[in-house]
Structure 1
């Protein structure tokens, strides 16, 4: 069980006030007077790490005591920005090695916004140090890393909220309540998922010396050490399978997780996929530019398609899901949803909710995803409630693991050119020892894979 320090008890009382005020805020009331200070650390102070932290600061009186990043420029920038945002105005302690940060501070909550290849190791180390975790998706780069995170969370009773914030997106919550839960779709037997963004970073930058402000060895950590060819920040690292799981692991995980939440789906019975680099062959990128995957359930298939070239099938829904029932269809994205009945009936449309008036600072934040900010704030509030009331958060680590691992298995199916059936109890691919061996990636020494067989 979690051991609470005095600050944690103050936080629990304060979090209750935050949650009560959050309801009022939807009616135009600003969050004020929240007491208590949750001791927070951030690992990974790049774009989305900062964004997640700033959303937390907006909804809770937290004390950001420490931040870690292997890029000293990131550290200097984020230290200043945090001091401008948190009530105490203090600059947090700055670290380049997350292990020292965890050793030096008794943190209540750690936010992890590092590249995917670091998620499992850092989440587990944060939990064993005593902290709850907000973990960006995908939770892992191999299936057994995800199993290890889940086991650790349950062993130490840590709450882990995964950054699949569609589960906290206002217009999608509305779709669940007013379309799915009311049975307006009838019998559901087909789902389409897609992403047609041209987001596959490609190119052939030359090798160059590692800049003195970046610890590239630590950035790489347990992953293979690629020759340095420029800052890996932003989208460059995502174009390599060494550090993630391609477009499927980055974008399908969101939409597949959303559909699983809407329809209350667990593990797929079987996963198959095809694809590869069909068009964009000129650069260093080794992630697929084209992929189709099928996640099979009883009398229901969820079919994923991505292309990082060409035009989207529907320009209004370039990254989306479509759920088909015999009474209608539900189209959803981060921007809106539409319910279109079969035959007679009322069409329903609801757009994304922005909170620009309640949070005017959003408008001045570089690179903020304004459409996602309200969802992330609700995601943070849900995590605070989970910690206070000892319930699982809406995007609990088990749900994040299922969605992540399913996407990883799709990549493995594409690699092996055959369907895969995963047994989460035995943690094997059924009747497929070759695929089972691929459930665990080798770690670069001296880093140790967290899964213990």
Structure 2
């Protein structure tokens, strides 16, 4: 149990040395793990093993005091693959297909949640009530109300929850935001965030089919409405269907819009309007828009979110990014680095500020993020977290607001005090309907 652990007594495992440890080959880390007493290990359980869940687990296992004690997935083929992967890392996890049984395991200290978005709220709040510390993938929820419930649950159970918005742990993002806060850009009245997914292709409609062997499809659906199995709605492509996710707006938007909220030090907009549709691939199977522009009014500045599938051009010559547009200059920020482009004075001959040449990314944000999470749980101090549940909730809610504006076709105004819109149709999309016997958690 966590209260018996003394993770810092071994100098080789102090956090100042973690970056060195993470550079060791997997076999060396596995050897170090063998030399750590069972009482000094952090036992992790992974729920959802295919995509980012596996990436998160792979990252945190670079720390030798972390042990994978259990994995849970509804697909036997994924479980078999991950068992083989973990054997190479000297981990022999207990296997589950029902996450609730994993949470019943008293030996598990930490849970990583890498399931589709519509599952995050139930699994995170259940993990909190089971006494686990939690790393939950972004977006934290598939609705505004679920995000609110998750914050309240973490507070009620005093749980340390890190959200998988790892850009907050990457050095160049932090330096760029520090520059924004310095005031050198002048007055910032406009911001932008965008993702142009040029590599995307049409999702060809296919007929419903029998559930694949080894898949617990009812558990995969969980609180979502029951539908016959269709491979277009399963695994990675779930993100293009409203039952389970919010398309590019919540997939990439939470990462990029998060930097706007952080840089401008705001939580929620006053109003939102959005336009878009199925323009790139009008006949494909997706429900979420493949082209979308959302305009957010924050009172003293505005933000535009843009995404387009099948188009790679982007803005400022970047496929994705964030721009802070000040009267002295514009800071452009991407996962690859950042720069500042000065404005000219009235004569158009003199720069109003000094340019900042491209500052490239030099570190691994995900690895930094899992180190930060382990440090917080080891020191039992949630204030150390780079992306606490509150930050994840704020940007998830803002991203969902853009989708709600698109789905209603209206300019919607947000009442932060009442936590509702001025529009009945928009308010109907704030709280999801749960199905198949599952109940929406209620903590707030």
| TM-score with structure 1 setting the length | 0.87
Aligned to 2:413: 421
Matching of residues 31-430 of structure 1 within 5 Å: 36-85=40-89, 89-177=90-178, 179-198=179-198, 199=200, 202-230=203-231, 232-314=233-315, 316-343=317-344, 344=351, 345-354=354-363, 374-387=364-377, 388-392=379-383, 393-429=385-421
Residues 1:102 and 1:23: Cα distance change in structure 2 (over 3 Å): closer
Equivalent-residue separation in structure 2 for 1:272 and 1:451 (angstroms): 29
Query: SS at 2:95's partner residue?
Result: strand
Task: Give the Å deviation of 1:48.
Answer: 1.4
Residues 1:90 and 1:193: Cα distance change in structure 2 (over 3 Å): closer
Task: Give the Å deviation of 1:279.
Answer: 3.7
Task: Give the Å deviation of 1:107.
Answer: 2.1
User: Could you tell which deviates more after superposition, 395-404 or 277-286?
Assistant: 277-286
Query: Is the contact between residue 15 and residue 384 of structure 1 (CA under 8 Å) also seen in structure 2?
Result: no
Query: Is the contact between residue 240 and residue 246 of structure 2 (CA under 8 Å) also seen in structure 1?
Result: no
Task: Give the Å deviation of 1:278.
Answer: 2.7
Query: Is the contact between residue 80 and residue 91 of structure 1 (CA under 8 Å) also seen in structure 2?
Result: no
Q: 1:445 aligns with which of 436, 439, 443?
A: 436
Query: Is the contact between residue 184 and residue 328 of structure 2 (CA under 8 Å) also seen in structure 1?
Result: yes
User: Could you tell which deviates more after superposition, 203-212 or 43-52?
Assistant: 203-212
Equivalent-residue separation in structure 2 for 1:97 and 1:23 (angstroms): 35
Equivalent-residue separation in structure 1 for 2:305 and 2:120 (angstroms): 24
Query: SS at 1:272's partner residue?
Result: strand
What residue ranges of structure 1 are gaps of 5+ in the alignment? 355-373
| TM-score with structure 2 setting the length | 0.89
Equivalent-residue separation in structure 2 for 1:230 and 1:417 (angstroms): 30
Query: SS at 2:53's partner residue?
Result: helix
User: Could you tell which deviates more after superposition, 330-339 or 416-425?
Assistant: 416-425
Aligned to 1:370: none
Query: Is the contact between residue 239 and residue 285 of structure 1 (CA under 8 Å) also seen in structure 2?
Result: yes
Equivalent-residue separation in structure 2 for 1:97 and 1:25 (angstroms): 33
Query: Is the contact between residue 197 and residue 311 of structure 2 (CA under 8 Å) also seen in structure 1?
Result: no
User: Could you tell which deviates more after superposition, 137-146 or 337-346?
Assistant: 337-346
Query: Is the contact between residue 43 and residue 66 of structure 2 (CA under 8 Å) also seen in structure 1?
Result: yes
Task: Give the Å deviation of 1:265.
Answer: 1.9
Task: Give the Å deviation of 1:414.
Answer: 1.3
Equivalent-residue separation in structure 1 for 2:201 and 2:418 (angstroms): 35
Task: Give the Å deviation of 1:207.
Answer: 2.1
Query: SS at 1:236's partner residue?
Result: helix
Query: Is the contact between residue 205 and residue 232 of structure 2 (CA under 8 Å) also seen in structure 1?
Result: no
Equivalent-residue separation in structure 2 for 1:443 and 1:29 (angstroms): 45
Residues 1:422 and 1:385: Cα distance change in structure 2 (over 3 Å): farther
Task: Give the Å deviation of 1:109.
Answer: 1.0
Equivalent-residue separation in structure 1 for 2:195 and 2:263 (angstroms): 19
Aligned to 1:361: none
Query: SS at 1:58's partner residue?
Result: coil
Equivalent-residue separation in structure 1 for 2:315 and 2:355 (angstroms): 22
Equivalent-residue separation in structure 2 for 1:413 and 1:52 (angstroms): 32
User: Could you tell which deviates more after superposition, 101-110 or 118-127?
Assistant: 101-110
Equivalent-residue separation in structure 2 for 1:400 and 1:197 (angstroms): 23
Equivalent-residue separation in structure 2 for 1:115 and 1:57 (angstroms): 22
Query: SS at 1:282's partner residue?
Result: coil
Task: Give the Å deviation of 1:398.
Answer: 0.8
Query: SS at 2:87's partner residue?
Result: helix
Task: Give the Å deviation of 1:191.
Answer: 0.6
Task: Give the Å deviation of 1:214.
Answer: 0.8
